[in-house]
Structure 1
Amino acid sequence: MRARPKSSSASSPTASCNCRREGNRMTSETDSLAPADFAEAAKASIAASTELAMADVATRLAQDGIAGMLASEDAGGLGLPVRYAVPVLAAAGEALFPFPLIETLLAARALDACGSGSAAGVITGETVATIAWGGAADVAREGDKITLNGVVSLAPHADKADLVLVALDNGEAVAVPTAGLSIAAAWGIDHERPCFEINLSGVEVDASCLIPAASWKELIEDALVSRAAVALGCAASCLAMAEEHANTRIQFGRALSANQAMRHMLARMKMHVENIRAVIDSGFSAANSSSPALRRKAAYLAAVSSGIFVVERAIQVHGGMGFTWEMPLHRHLRWLRSLQTQGDSDGLLLEVADDLIGSAAA
């Protein structure tokens, strides 16, 4: 692990879901905290981290109480449910935050569940963690050691990470230090959040680093709604840019928004942004009769699809300049397309269809 100054957030005294803001840092105090209360702190932390190196970003997020917000209080986190991460991840999407934030939040909680002590490094910012979303390694166990073989992929920022979570063929997962691993850049369109392929050939790790199958399944489901939150931030940001351009760009003596067709397009974009908010809320709703897993799959699919619709229409509103490198719109689109790949949108759509058809036939 790279040596870094320890963050003061590691020993934050917290009571379950009882937090307050101290400056830009979240700490414990009251039961009245709502998920939206994290938005301001997240935006400030992200804005302060934009020019920092990867290791320094991890330290800053830890100091602001964000890195360990989902991890248990015993591990030094805040012990919050994943819905509290939604405004944080939306702020990251809005700001095009080039850091594996989804992976950091979920890895800290999963590592805490395995009890190896690795979670502390992620929570304090001493360890940069990522997750390989593609593939699963073959595992052979002998005593307190396990041997991994295979190739895993879709690991964002694996070249700068200290630790990567890898799925295993038995349904479990394991935390693997990246030092000495064969890590190669994989093809992708998101240059700010590059994904990597990792070749695991006879890699030996301690069995204490195993993540139970139930914890890994929970992580995969929560990753879906986390990606939906990023899509919300991307879509809201692009809608704001499209509205500003349509209201300030003058053509033939009047603003673009004076045209009815333009107003209709902006209205449809706004409806899609609100749809993303609604499906994310539905993903956490206990009133819905469908299973939590199905709700989160549907939330992810709807959010990413609506997000792409909004971003593509924002590019259209800007005309020719919308396609240029100077405009950030294509960067949002690249991220959303990458999230589609990481979440296996095509395969997930078939799963949701099978679930719905099966429940209707029952």
Structure 2
Amino acid sequence: MEIGAAFAGEFTPEQLALRDSVRAFLASPGYSWARLAGELGLTALAIAEEHGGFGATAVEAGLALEEAGAALLSAPLLSTTAAALALDPAEPAAAELLPAIAEGKSIATLALGHGVEARPAAHGTVLDGRAEHVLDGDAADVFIVEAGGDLYATDAAVVQAVPTMDVTRGQATLILTAAPARPVARAGAAHAMAVMHALLAAESIGLARASLQSTVDHLRTRHQFGVPLASFQALRHRVADLYVVHEQATSTARYALRVFGTAEFALAAPLAKLAATEAAWTITREAIQLLGGIGFTWEHPAHRYLKRATANHLLFGDPPALRRLLLARAFA
């Protein structure tokens, strides 16, 4: 059983080729940010051609992030992709920033919902405030910060890297004191949050798939009492339940990406984030138990998948917050 194979028919041959290329690339040793951006062009994937990108859709970006999640990619692909999709190319500062992101020369990230204030200054706008748990903030060179519902780009933040449970990806606290900034999306904060929700969902179903596939492979090859563990009915039932959870989350996450750019996206994205991160958290926790003693060792990657799933579960809105948001939007 290959986890996720049931959904292959919904993609074009070109999309499947992209998925396979990213999967093979991330499975090879020695990949780097320069190769990821230059050789594969993943940073340019969802950026329009007139801004130096390939003009692909959010669906292709999601496929790449699924594979990044499966490989526990530590490079800032998710945060940079989210920042690029949140920018409004009609804003001059955004149009200037997009080509650098497409080439991989600039690493961007989103800082949303932190109460940062924007105020006029002699030479434009400055930002004041503090933003915590900024994904890949320790690696980024430009920060897309929410202030008053608008998005501003700045490179003048004081960055404090913070330790987290998930050592495969960094977070940081940004301190902004009269930081010069330029607008990159008017009233764009809600859309930016929806983008992050949808992309976190895509990454989460990828890491859940890899965790579950590793567990299934272990149960097939590990023998107990002279037979494979996969022959025991109780274990088969547990895996079957996890498979259903993953398939449901996959359907929800991919639907959100398909309605990107429509009015439905504002509701589909947080729903996808809720379903996918809940599924990933459930699957990675169960995987450690199903793997037995090896699942509790530092050498096995099971704990790293659990830590990434836990971080994704809590970032940009935990389940109660997402349920409140969905309820408000569903009846708005």
The bucket for the TM-score relative to the shorter chain is 0.7 to 0.9
- Structure 1 window deviating more from structure 2 (82-91 vs 129-138): it is 129-138
Corresponding residue for 1:65? Answer: 41
Identity of aligned residues (%): 25
After the TM superposition, which residues 260-299 of structure 1 pair with which residues of structure 2 at under 5 Å, given as runs? 260-284=233-257, 291-299=264-272
Asked if residue 174 in structure 1 is aligned to residue 152 in structure 2, the reply is yes
Asked if residue 115 in structure 1 is aligned to residue 92 in structure 2, the reply is yes
Change (3 A) 1:235 1:172: same
After the TM superposition, which residues 234-253 of structure 1 pair with which residues of structure 2 at under 5 Å, given as runs? 234-253=207-226
CA positional deviation for 1:134: 5.0
Of residues 117, 123, 131, the one that matches 1:152 is 131
User: Structure 2: which 5+ runs fail to align?
Assistant: 1-11
Residue identity matched to 1:46: L
Residue 160 of structure 1 aligns to a residue in which SS?
A: coil
User: Structure 1: which 5+ runs fail to align?
Assistant: 1-31
The CA RMSD over aligned residues, in Å, is 2.3
Residue 42 of structure 2 aligns to a residue in which SS?
A: coil
Corresponding residue for 2:17? Answer: 37
For the residues of structure 1 that align with 2:189 and 2:24, how far apart are their CA atoms?
31
Corresponding residue for 2:79? Answer: 103
The two structures have a TM-score, normalised by structure 2, of 0.87
Deviation track 1:77-133 (CA, whole Å, cap 9, x = no partner) reads 122221221210000011000012111112234446233211111111111222224
Matched-pair contact (CA < 8 Å) for 1:45–1:61? no
- Structure 1 window deviating more from structure 2 (212-221 vs 245-254): it is 212-221
Asked if residue 199 in structure 1 is aligned to residue 175 in structure 2, the reply is yes
Of residues 269, 289, 292, the one that matches 1:319 is 292
The two structures have a TM-score, normalised by structure 1, of 0.80
For the residues of structure 1 that align with 2:145 and 2:45, how far apart are their CA atoms?
22
Change (3 A) 1:75 1:45: farther
Asked if residue 184 in structure 1 is aligned to residue 160 in structure 2, the reply is yes
Number of residue pairs the alignment of both structures matches: 315
Corresponding residue for 2:325? Answer: 351
Matched-pair contact (CA < 8 Å) for 1:133–1:153? no
Deviation track 1:288-310 (CA, whole Å, cap 9, x = no partner) reads x9933112211110111111111
CA positional deviation for 1:143: 5.6
Of residues 120, 140, 161, the one that matches 1:161 is 140
CA positional deviation for 1:144: 4.5
**Structure with higher RCO (Cα < 8 A, 6+ apart):** 2
Matched-pair contact (CA < 8 Å) for 1:59–1:124? no
Corresponding residue for 1:92? Answer: 68
For the residues of structure 1 that align with 2:231 and 2:36, how far apart are their CA atoms?
45
